[in-house]
A = this chain, B = another copy of it.
Amino acid sequence: MFCLPKQYSRVQVNLCGGWGIKMAHLAIIGSGIIGRSWAIVAARAGLHARLVVRRAEARADVAQAILSAADNALPIAPSVPVDQLMQRITFVATPEEAAKDAGFVFEAIREDLAEKAALFRLLESLAPPDAILASSTSSFGASRFAGDLHTRARIIVAHPLAPPHLIPATEIVPAPFTALQTVETVFELMRALGQKPLLVRSEQPGFVMNRMQGALLLEMMRVVEEGVMEPEDVDSIIRDGFGLRWAFLGPFAGIDLNAPGGIADYLKRYGFMFEDLARERGMKTPAVTPSIISTLHEALRAAHPLNDQPKRLAMRDRLMAALRALRRDQGVN
C-alpha cells in the first residue's frame, strides 16, 4: 500500500502557504493539445504558466486555441473568467525562458524518445535544482529517457487523458530512481490543480490507462470483425449503456451495486461469464480468482459499508437521470 509521508517538500510548503518565489510559475514545454491544456489547468488554479511557443508567428493561433478551449470549459470553474485566466499564461520562445525559476516543469512535446531524452538533459541544467520535471508521455517510462541524468530523482511521468483541463484522471508513474518526495509533491500539486493523481507502481508499456482502453477497444474490434454488430451499435453499448454509469461510478463500484451482497456476491454469481471470456480469449485462467474477489471485496467494503447500498443506488439513479436530462437538453441522442 502506498502512503504519502508526512514531511513535505519545499514546493509543497509553498503550495500550502501561497505561491512564493520558489513557485513563481509552472513551465510548460510544448504547445500542442496537452501543453495548452496544462496551461489552462494551471491558470485556472491561480498559478502562472510559461508556455513555450518557438515561432513567434504561431503565438496568436496558440492563444486563440487556449481561449476557445477555456471558454468551452468555463462551467468547470465559472469563478475564473477567461480573460483573467489568459493573463496568467505567458508565451516564451525557448525552454530556457520557461524553465528559469520555475517551480515545476511539464514536458508535453511529441512522442519521440530521442527528443524527450535530449529535452530532459537540457531541462536538468535550466530548471532550478529543486524543481520537479514531469513528462506527459503516454508510452515511455522515465527510465527510458532520464535514467542517466544526475538529478533523475526529480523526474517522473504525469500522464493525463487528453485534455487534462476537462479530464482529471492523471497517471503518476515514478521510475525506480524517482524520489518519494517527488511523487509526493506531484500528488499535492495535482490535487491543488484539481486533477486526480493515480499512482502506477511499475513502469510498463501503456501504463494503466491505455491497457484499460485497449482491452475494451480490442473486444469492440473483435465484435465488429466477427460481424456480430455494427460499429455504431457497439459504440452505443458504451455511450447509451455502460457510459451512463461510468460517468459517476467506476466499473468495480458499478458491479458492487448490482448484487445484494456487493462485488463479491456479484462475482460469485456472474464471474463465470468473465471466466469463460478469458478462457476463450486464450488469457491466463483462472482470471476471477478467490484472491482477486477478496481483494476487491475488502477495497469496496473499506470505502462503503454494505448497508449503504440502497442510498448509493438511489444516488446512482438520480445522477444517471440528471445526465440523461443534460444529454437531452444538449441534443445528444
Residue of B nearest to A211 (CB): B219
- CB <8 Å contact, B239 and A198: no
This chain: how many copies in the complex? 2
- CB <8 Å contact, A215 and B213: no
Q: How far is the CA of A227 from the CA of B283 in the complex (A)?
A: 18
Interface 1/0 per residue, A289-304 and B, CB below 8 Å? 1011001100110010
- CB <8 Å contact, B212 and A242: yes
Main secondary structure of the interface of A (DSSP, over half): helix
Q: Which of B217, B295, B318 contacts A251 (CB 8 A)?
A: B217
Q: Which of A161-215 contact B (CB under 8 A)?
A: 161-163, 166-169, 171, 196, 198-202, 204-206, 208-215
Q: Which of A31-77 contact B (CB under 8 A)?
A: 68-69, 72-76
User: Contacts A168-B240, A317-B166, A330-B319; is A225 near B292 (CB within 8 Å)?
Assistant: yes
14 more A-B contacts (CB under 8 A) besides A231-B252, A246-B247, A247-B323?
A: A72-B317, A75-B321, A75-B324, A75-B325, A167-B240, A167-B241, A169-B237, A198-B233, A202-B228, A224-B296, A231-B295, A238-B250, A243-B246, A248-B332
- Would you list 24 pairs from A and B whose C-beta atoms are within 8 A, ordered by A residue? A75-B324, A76-B328, A168-B241, A171-B237, A208-B223, A209-B242, A210-B277, A212-B216, A212-B238, A216-B251, A217-B251, A217-B274, A218-B278, A224-B295, A231-B300, A232-B250, A235-B253, A237-B250, A239-B247, A239-B250, A243-B243, A243-B246, A243-B248, A246-B246
A-to-B contact residues, CB < 8 Å = 1-2, 68-69, 72-76, 78, 139, 161-163, 166-169, 171, 196, 198-202, 204-206, 208-253, 255, 258, 273-274, 276-278, 281-284, 287-289, 291-292, 295-296, 299-300, 303, 314, 317-328, 330, 332
